[in-house]
Chain A
Amino acid sequence: VALAIDPGMLASLASEIPQGAVLVTGSNGKGTTCRLLAGVMRAAGLHPILNREGSNQLSGLATTMMASSGRFGHLPADDRAIGLFEVDEGSFPGIVGQIGRPRALVFTNVFRDQLDRYMEPAYMTSMLERAMQELPADTTLVLNADDPRVAYLAPDMENPRLYFGIQDTGLARDGTDPTSDFPRCPRCGSELAYRCVFYAHLGHWSCHHCGLARPQPQVRLTKIELLGSASSRVQVATPAAEMQLEVPLPGLYNAYNAAAAIAAATACQLHNRAFLAIQRVRPSSLRMERIKVANHDVYLTLAKNANGYTEVLRAVLGDGRPRRIMLGLNDFEGKQPDTSWIWDVDFESMCGLIPSPVVTGNRAYDLTVRLKYAGWLGATKETTLTTEPDPVRAFQRALARTPSGEPLWLVSTSIVLQEVRRWLRQQGFVREVWREQEQLAGTVQR
C-alpha cells in the first residue's frame, strides 16, 4: 500500500535514520542474525528499527518504515535510531539503492535455495554483485569467509571488507558433505579444494589452479562447543577483543549467525561489551520457538531448503541421542511447487535416531518416500513411521506418543508450523498473536 502511495517513500524515510542502516542478506540465517544483532545494538544504546522477520521484500521494508514514521510521514527525531533490515536476496537489487546510508552489508551464505524462485546460485551471486555496485564506497561488506560464493563477491569493489568465519577445525567433517552442491572457484571456475568442511560447501577452501583461497577472517570463532540441542559455547576473537559467549541457539549454523552479528557490530564500531547481549536473545519466532504444552517443551523450527533442513536436524540430533521429532513438508501451490530438494537433505545419517517419527504437510507422502529411500523404513513395510498430512492431527499424535516430560521438535517448512501454532494459540498454549497473514505473505514469497 505504502509503495502505491509513494514509490520513493522507503528511500526518503531510510535516509532520515540518523545512524544509517545495516542490511543483512543471504540464503539462510538472515532473520536470526538480525535478531542477534538487534540485541547487540540495543545493548550499545542504539534503537534499531527492524522489519518483521520474513517481511523482507520491498513492500515489507516500506511497511516497516511507515509504521515507524509519524502522521506527517517523517521518522520521530531520535539520534540513536539505526536501521536493521533483513533483505530477501531476490529482492536485494530493488532495495539496495533505496537505503540511503548503509553502514554495513552482511552476507550470511549462498546456498542452493528454492530453485523455483531464485534459480541457480550462480545467477543469484551475479545478480547480487550487480546490485552491490549501487552501494556507497564506505559501506563495509561483512562476508562469510568460509563460503566461497560469498567471500569473493564483487572483487572489484574497493569497499572495506570484514570477514567472519570458523577457525576451530575440531568440528569439521571427515571429507565432503553430501549436502554440498560443490561451487567452483569464484575467480577461475576450477574445482575447489578444502582443508576442512564444516557443512555443505562452508569450510577452509582454496583453488589449486589460480591460488585464490579463503581470506583470513577478522572475526573468528576460535573454539565452538555444541551444548546439546539448545545452545553452544563459542570463543570469539575480533580485532579488538576476545571473549566467550553462550549462543542461545543450537548448531553450527547458529554459531555462524552469531559470528555474522558480531562482525556486523564490529563494522559499526559498537563496543565489544555489547556483544554479550547475544547470550540473552531468546528464540521467539517462527524460526525457532519454544512453547510449553502440558509437560512438554515443544520447539517449532523452520527449515525451508535442503541445507536448512539438514542443519536443523543435525543441531537437534548432534549428540547422537534419539529425540522426538515431527517432520513437515508443504509446497505452496503455484508459488513454490518444487519440493525436490528433500532428496538433498542428509536424512541418511540420521536413520534410526528419531523414534516413531510423524510426517506431515500436504507433501507428507513425498517426504515419507524420501525417508524410505534413506533407509528409515527398511526394505519391509514394518515401521512405526506415521504419515498424517493434516498438521494438527499429526501434532496431536506426535505429542501423544512423546513420553511425559520429553521435548518434541517440529521441523518443517512454514505452512505446517503456522497451522500448528494457530492451533496451539486456540488451545491457549501461546498467548502472543502472530500477525499471521503478514507472516504468511512474507514467508511464501521467500
Chain B
Amino acid sequence: MRITLGCLYPEIMSTYGDRGNVATIRRRCEWRGIAVDLRELRLGDPAGPDDLDLIVIGSGGESQQRLVAADLNEVKGSGIREAVHQGAAALAVGSGFELFGQYSRSGEGAKLPGVGLFDAWTIGHRAILSDQYASLTEARADRAMGDLVVRWQDRLLVGFENHVGRTYLGPTATPLGRVVSGVGNNGDGTEGVQLGDVDLPELADDAELAAREVAMQRARTASRARRGRVILRRPIRRVSPADVPTGGS
C-alpha cells in the first residue's frame, strides 16, 4: 500500500513541534508496511486534489498566518477542498486548523479568509505583533496554554494547547470532542472540529501511555488552579502525537 502525504507549509507552519505529527505518521505507516510519498507543499505550490490521500497542516504565528491565508485563498484552497470532498483525510492543528474553517480574524481586525472546510470561525482579540499587549506577561495571560484532555467517543485524548484565538462552531460543525480539562475551542466545552468519520489509533506502548498519564495529571492540576479565574480560551491545537490518526483516506 502506498499513500501520498501532503504536508502544507512545512517550514513556516511548524512552530509548536508540528513536524512531530508528520514524523509520527510516517513512522507508523512505515511500521505497518505502508509506503509514504511525502509531498511538501510550500507557498505558491498548487495542491492537486487527485494525488493527496492525507493532508497535514500545523501552526504558525501571526505573520505566518497572513502568508498562509493568502496562499490558501489564491493557490491551494480549491485543491484542498476538492481533495477532502473526494475522501482525503486531513489533520489540521493550531492556526492551520483555524485557517481550514471559514475565517480567522486577527487582533488587528484583519479578516483572513479560510479554506471553508467546516463551519467555524476564529476571533483573536489582540495581536502581539501590533503592540496590543503592554508586556510579555500580559500576552501570556491572554493565552490558553497547557495540557488538554478531551473526551472523544469513549476515549480520552491528551494534547497540549497554546493559542490566543477563540474558535466558534456554527450549527453545522461537529466538535471533535468535549473538554475534560483545559480550555478548548473557546471555553464552551468543545474542542476542535470533526469532519466526516474519524478514527484514531490506540496508543502503541507503555511509554506512550505513561506520557499520557503525566500530561493528564498536569491538566487536572492546572484545571484546579484555574477554577474561578476567567480565561480567554480556544481550540485544541496539538493532538498528542501518539494520538494522531494514521489512516489514509
Q: Which residues of A contact B (CB under 8 A)?
A: 90, 93, 112, 115-123, 126-127, 130, 178, 180-182, 184, 189, 191, 331, 333-334, 337-344, 362-363, 365-366, 368-370, 372-375, 379, 381, 387
**B71 proximal to A (CB < 8 A):** no
Within B123-138, which residues are at the interface with A (CB < 8 Å)?
128-129, 131, 135-136
Contact call A115/B207, Cβ cutoff below 8 A: no
User: Are the CB atoms of B241 and A343 closer together than 8 Å?
Assistant: yes
Question: Chain B nearest CB: distance from A148 CB in Å?
Answer: 14
* A112 lies within 8 A of B225 (CB): no
Query: CA–CA, A366 to B209, complex, Å?
Result: 10
Most buried by B among A90, A122, A365, A375: A365
- B residues near A (Cβ < 8 Å) are 11-12, 14-20, 23-24, 27, 30-31, 43, 61-63, 67, 128-129, 131, 135-136, 139-140, 145-147, 160, 162, 205, 207-208, 210-211, 213-215, 218, 221-222, 225, 238, 241-242
Are B129 and A123 interface neighbours, CB within 8 A?
yes
| A-B contacts besides A343-B23, A373-B241, A375-B27, 19 pairs, CB < 8 Å | A115-B15, A119-B139, A120-B15, A122-B61, A123-B61, A184-B63, A189-B63, A331-B218, A337-B147, A338-B160, A338-B162, A340-B17, A340-B238, A343-B20, A344-B17, A365-B207, A369-B241, A369-B242, A381-B205
Task: Give the complex CA separation of A337 and B160 in angstroms.
Answer: 9
Contacts of B218 in A (CB 8 A): 331, 333, 337
Cα–Cα distance between A181 and B64 once the two chains are bound (Å): 11
Do B214 and A366 have beta carbons less than 8 Å apart? yes
Contact between A343 and B17, CB atoms less than 8 A apart: yes
Are A182 and B160 interface neighbours, CB within 8 A? no
Given A368-B207, A373-B20, A373-B27: A334 in contact with B222 (beta carbons within 8 A): yes
Contact A112 B15 (CB under 8 A): yes
Asked if A116 and B62 make an inter-chain contact with CB atoms under 8 angstroms apart, the answer reads no
Which of chain B's residues has its CB closest to A385's CB?
B207
Q: Report chain A residues within 8 Å CB of B23.
A: 343, 373-374
Are B207 and A333 in contact, CB atoms less than 8 angstroms apart? Answer: no
Partner pick for B24 among A121, A127, A344, A373, CB 8 A cutoff:
A373
| Chain A residue with Cβ nearest B21 | A343
Enumerate the 6 nearest inter-chain pairs by beta-carbon distance, A residue then B residue, closest first. A343-B20, A343-B17, A340-B17, A120-B61, A365-B211, A365-B210
- CB contacts (< 8 Å) of A372 on chain B: these are 205, 207
Q: How far is the CB of A369 from chain B (nearest CB, A)?
A: 5
Q: How far is the CA of A375 from the CA of B28 in the complex (A)?
A: 11
Chain A residues within an 8 Å CB radius of B162? 115-116, 338, 340
Q: A122-B62, A373-B23 are in contact. Are A341 and B207 (CB under 8 A)?
A: no
Selected contact of A379 from candidates B14, B30, B136, B146, CB within 8 Å: B30
Chain A nearest CB, measured from B131 CB (Å): 8
Q: How far is the CA of A191 from the CA of B11 in the complex (A)?
A: 11
Chain B residues, Cβ within 8 Å of A387: 207, 210
- CB pair B129–A117 under 8 Å, yes or no, is no
- Look across to chain A and name the residue whose beta carbon is closest to the beta carbon of B221: A333
Set of chain B residues within 8 Å of A93, measured between Cβ atoms: 135
CB distance from B202 to the nearest CB of A (A): 14
> Closest Cβ of chain A: how far from B66's Cβ, in Å?
9
CB distance from B112 to the nearest CB of A (A): 16
